[in-house]
Structure 1
Amino acid sequence: MTEPERPAVTTPDQLFVQLQGETVKMLSLDMNLLSIGRTPDNGLSLPHPSIAIRHAEVRRQEEGFVITDLGNAETYLAGRKLAPHQPQVLAEGALVQVGPYVLAYLAGGQAPAPPDKVDALPVLADFRPVRLPPARPRLPAPRAEGHASAYLDFLPNLYTESEFLGRYLMIFQSIWEPLQHRQDHLPMYFAPATAPQALLGYMAAWLGLELDPHWPEARQRLWLREAMHLLRWRGTRYGLMRAIELGCGVSAQVIEDPKLPFSVTVIMPDPGEGEDGSGDVTRQSAEQLIARHLPAHVQYQLRFV
């Protein structure tokens, strides 16, 4: 008698994560939604400064899995930049580039033997500098111009015949117009990207994240923009790494030894040998930054390379 045929074993769709040509992680797409981003709370965490907190997502739909860029415009599918919030179907063998990582999609039943699975993606050891955004252009309040005040348009025509009155009202217009302009754009004074530089320190102090006065303006704005994100992850390994990236401008390594509880080792480039040569970060300021973002019961050892 012939044995009954056994049902074929099908494997779910798989996503291989490659870094510098080597597969460092394999995920089985047995979920309906996979979030991709820099923080550890994503389904696929990719620890790199160029990757956003919520960078992209892979969602299961009737036609298959689709990938969507979440407004970063730095996700590439087959070498083509994806438009934000525009889902794209993942074809068999599709390659998605997110920062330095390449995600290879393979449909179920056709995937090769999975590589050795690792618990977490490796921390990059190249100590890349974090590029600062360009300086914000200055946008001062417009001043009153002309030989006659625009306030004459709100008076009866009788008063427009007086040249002296037009020049006299120009004095009040030059004082009140900047104030009116500020009131009309008041939310911009409390946004990290558009607030006056003099207000950045006050806004950071409100949140308990003081700014270093020696930082360039672009770094202060970047620090303030991610203030709530830093507070959310404060006291964690990722929170310390992100604080060093923002405050010192370089990626660092944070090593935890299970044999030495409540102790970490931080490895970062020597500030005196930075590529930008800005000189706004010193060894003392780096130590102060690390001490502020570590739990009080945790000791640390700082090593410069």
Structure 2
Amino acid sequence: MTGGWLLAQLPAVMGRDPVISGFVRGFEEIADSVRDQISDLEHELDVGLASPEMLVYLASWLGVELDATRVGDAEVREAQRRLIRAVGQALVWRGTRHGVETLLEALTGSRVEVIDPGGIFAPGDTVPAATDVVVVRLDHTGGLSERQLRAFLAEELPIGVRVDLRVRSAGGAG
């Protein structure tokens, strides 16, 4: 019995049957083409190695919208990889001071400080005065507009929180 990897697994009597062997060879061709297409799947799911198109898809899993029109730009692609990694790492911190700092740092490439007096306090702790203002300080915007930063913050912070956005420089690496 001559044939491929799938045909070789058949009992000899079935492998000699021209109808069955032809049918199995057809499946071998289909399976081989599928294996060829998915042989790099683990690399496509690695943010550091994924193709630009896959980065857009991976980001969508995390609720992040990437600019698919700029996937050819290597600098943009690296910023997108940095953002996807940060979102994945910050999932458990979403909506907190730490989470906002992590995501904004990845988004802008800037040093970020978030001042949020809210929290959970144990009996006897000094509780800061109540306020609905969160102060966000950035060294630079990483090329994003103030509107884009405020839209991001509106998604990450609790409803009703006002943002006092303080940026030292509007440009910066991004």
TM-score where L is the length of structure 1: 0.36
CA contact (8 A) 1:233 1:239 kept: yes
1:31-76 deviation per Cα after TM superposition (whole angstroms, max 9, x unaligned): xxxxxxxxxxxxxxxxxxxxxxxxxxxxxxxxxxxxxxxxxxxxxx
C-alpha distance in 1 between matches for 2:163 and 2:67: 21
Q: Find the partner of 2:132 among 256, 262, 272.
A: 262
Mapping 1:221-300, distance limit 5 Å: 221-257=81-117, 258-271=128-141, 279=143, 281-300=144-163
Pair 1:225–1:270, CA change in 2 (3 A): closer
Larger relative contact order (Cα-Cα within 8 Å, sequence gap ≥ 6): 2
Asked if the contact 1:188/1:194 (under 8 Å) is kept, the reply is: yes
CA shift, 1:220, in A, is: 0.8
Higher helix share: 2
Alignment of 1:105-254 (within 5 A): 181-212=36-67, 216-254=76-114
Question: For residues 267 and 196 of structure 1, do their structure 2 counterparts lie closer, same or farther at Cα, with a shift above 3 Å needed?
Answer: same
Deviation string 1:190-227 (CA, Å, 9 cap, x unpaired) is 22111110121122112212235567100111222233
| Cα separation, 1, equivalents of 2:164 and 2:67 | 22
Percent identity over the alignment? Answer: 30
TM-score by length of 2: 0.60
Alignment partners' CA distance in 2, 1:211 and 1:263: 29
Tell me the alpha carbon deviations over residues 174-194 of structure 1, each in whole angstroms, 9 at most, x when there is no partner: xxx997543222221222111
Is the Cα contact below 8 Å between 1:230 and 1:243 reproduced in 2?
Answer: yes
User: Offset of 1:233 from its aligned partner?
Assistant: 0.3
| More strand, by proportion | 1
Contact 2:86 2:103 in 1 (8 A): no
Which letter does structure 2 place at the counterpart of 1:198? Answer: E
Question: Which runs of no fewer than 5 residues in structure 2 stay unpaired?
Answer: 1-31, 118-127, 169-174
The answer to whether residue 164 in structure 2 is matched with residue 301 in structure 1 is yes
Equivalent position SS for 1:216: helix
Q: How does 1:21-60 map to 2 (within 5 A)?
A: none
1:207/1:236 CA distance change after superposition, 3 Å: same
CA contact (8 A) 1:270 1:283 kept: no
The superposition leaves residues 86-139 of structure 1 with CA deviations (integer Å, 9 ceiling, x where unpaired) of xxxxxxxxxxxxxxxxxxxxxxxxxxxxxxxxxxxxxxxxxxxxxxxxxxxxxx
Aligned-pair distance for 1:264? Answer: 0.7
Separation in structure 1 between the aligned mates of residue 64 and residue 160 of structure 2, nearest angstrom: 20
Question: Aligned with 2:154: secondary structure?
Answer: helix
**Per the alignment, in what secondary structure is the counterpart of residue 211 of structure 1?**
coil
Residues 178 and 194 from structure 1, CA distance in 2 versus in 1: closer, same or farther, beyond 3 angstroms? farther
Alignment check: 8 A CA contact 1:248 1:286 kept: no
Cα RMSD, aligned residues only: 2.7
Asked if the contact 2:87/2:103 (under 8 Å) is kept, the reply is: no
Higher-Rg member (1/2): 1
Distance in 2, Cα, partners of 1:241 & 1:293: 10
Aligned counterparts of 2:53 and 2:109: Cα–Cα separation in 1: 22
